Amino acid sequence: MKLKKSIIVFGIIFFIQPIINSVLPLGYVIHIDLCVMMMLALTIEEDKAPSFLAVGFLFALLTDIVTARFIGVTPIAMIITVILIWVIRNHINIENFLLDVGVLGSGLLVFNVSKWIMYVLLGSDYTFLYMAKRLHKSVVIDLVLLLIPLYLVVTKAATKRRDRYFR
Amino acid sequence: MRWIKSHKFISVILTVFIVSVLMLGLTMKFGNRLGFLNKVYMVIEKPMLSLGESITENVHGIFSYRDLLEENEQLKEENERLQNEVISLTLSADELQELNELSEVLGYEFVNPAENIVTSNIVSENSTNWTHTFSIDRGSESGIEVGDIVLSGRSMIGKISETGSGWSKVNTIFDESIKINFAVQGNASLTGILEGSKDETLTGFMLDENSDIADGDVIVTSGRGIYPEGIVIGKISKVGYDSNRQLKTVIIVSDVNLSTIEKVSVII
């Protein structure tokens, strides 16, 4: 993904984020972070494209500046997650939908847990149980929202394989 | 330079990591000095949030048309009843004059609530999966300070965690960082501590495991600690017992639905 395209995509995501969270009937307990979801999807799809990574990290930093208590936590958690996905993809390089589900799920889990660890290290008093009670719901919802477009892409690719070109 | 060009991925990761750690260090040392950007973001986010809310309301309205009609009728009746009540309760000018004279004679000083409360609009929600915060459009220029109590109607919904000119951030009672010492309304000796939240309810425990409490009891702030006495937190929906900690536990439902409120009051 080119730099210009990345800026436009992440810019749109940054601005529609409040709409999505107020439209989805998830209450105020689950918060959808589209920027993180986009980063995970692109890490799986685009492998090591530095332009989208740079823009994604920049928007994560911007989100921290305007909303979070500690600036820099989200980009660091993202770096850990992206490296993890990259390492897994390097070791198991198979195009498989179920594998993608596993990788994305692990990514979301690692992102949330590393963010919580940093918050605790920085002095917040959110206990592990408190975080764990919310973690499974948020991971499942994020995963479902991420997998819908991914599944559509996979099925589209699968139908193309059946045309005469692949014979 | 050649190394950077041939290792773009690692370079980006390293740069972002160094910048993030630096920013984190600066925030820890000097606090979030970029609060003014909050104000800029609020300007952008407010129309987005309103758009989202209007979409939700319209979609909800389509599916609950009959309920809305019924509710409208009920509200009309209630409005009429309340108007009659207001007429009967309104003090006449003479009675008010009499009360003022009496308070002067007795030297009774009272605090005018209107002077200590700042009303504000919720402009953005800054929650993550475990931090529950939102921003309001009033701040230090209105006398709001960190730690001030935020209410919706009579119920407590949080406290100010950060403030600047034209903006403040509110930590809601659903955020685990807020610990409140509470009491049962009508019996101040029954006290407990609010320790967190589960889904859209609050959880806590009683200090005395033999406390005589029941479902439906109203929970208020006890006045011990930083919160003033008597502010409504919610109602007990379930009483339980944690055998590991040997504590009587309570689940409290707040009167306030954070997803729907638009205005809050700050006690300054």
Mean pLDDT by 10 residues, chain B (268 residues): 74 84 81 66 73 75 78 85 72 69 65 67 73 82 87 84 83 79 84 76 82 84 81 86 82 79 83
pTM for this structure? 0.67
Residues whose CB is less than 8 angstroms from the CB of residue B176 and which lie 6 or more positions away in sequence, other chains included: A125, A126, A127, A130, B130, B195, B196, B197
**Tokens at A166, concatenated:** 């692949």
> What is the model's pLDDT at position A62?
85
Q: Is the pLDDT of residue A127 over 50?
A: yes
Whether A164 is in a domain gets the answer no
Are A57 and B27 an interchain contact pair (Cβ–Cβ within 8 Å)? Answer: no
> What is the model's pLDDT at position B111?
46
Whether A167 is in a domain gets the answer no
Are A130 and B127 an interchain contact pair (Cβ–Cβ within 8 Å)? Answer: no
Report the candidate in B244, B155, B246 with the shortest Cα–Cα distance to residue B206: B246
Chain A environment of B44 (Cβ under 8 Å): 15
Whether A165 is in a domain gets the answer no
- Residue A138: give the domain boundaries: 3-156
CA distance B90 to B167: 37
Are B124 and A67 an interchain contact pair (Cβ–Cβ within 8 Å)? Answer: yes
Nearest chain A residue to B175 by CA: give it. Answer: A126
Are B127 and A28 an interchain contact pair (Cβ–Cβ within 8 Å)? Answer: yes
Categorize the per-residue pLDDT at A110 as very low, low, confident or very high, splitting at 50, 70 and 90: very high
Higher pLDDT: A50 or B70? It is B70
Whether A102 is in a domain gets the answer yes
Ranking A61-65, A113-117, A131-135, B30-34 by mean pLDDT, the lowest is B30-34
> What is the model's pLDDT at position A26?
63
Q: Strand ranges (DSSP E) for A72-131?
A: none
- How many domains is chain A built from? 1
Are A70 and B27 an interchain contact pair (Cβ–Cβ within 8 Å)? Answer: yes
> What is the model's pLDDT at position A161?
55
Q: Is the pLDDT of residue A123 over 60?
A: yes
> What is the model's pLDDT at position B32?
64
Mean pLDDT of A106-132: 85
Nearest-Cα distance to chain A for B21, in Å, is 6
Q: Is the pLDDT of residue A162 over 70?
A: no
Count of A–B CB contacts within 8 Å? 145
Q: Strand ranges (DSSP E) for chain B?
A: 117-125, 133-136, 149-152, 155-164, 167-172, 180-184, 187-198, 201-206, 218-221, 232-242, 247-253, 263-267
Whether A166 is in a domain gets the answer no
For A71, the closest of B8, B27, B41 (CB atoms) is B27
Whether A46 is in a domain gets the answer yes
> What is the model's pLDDT at position B239?
86
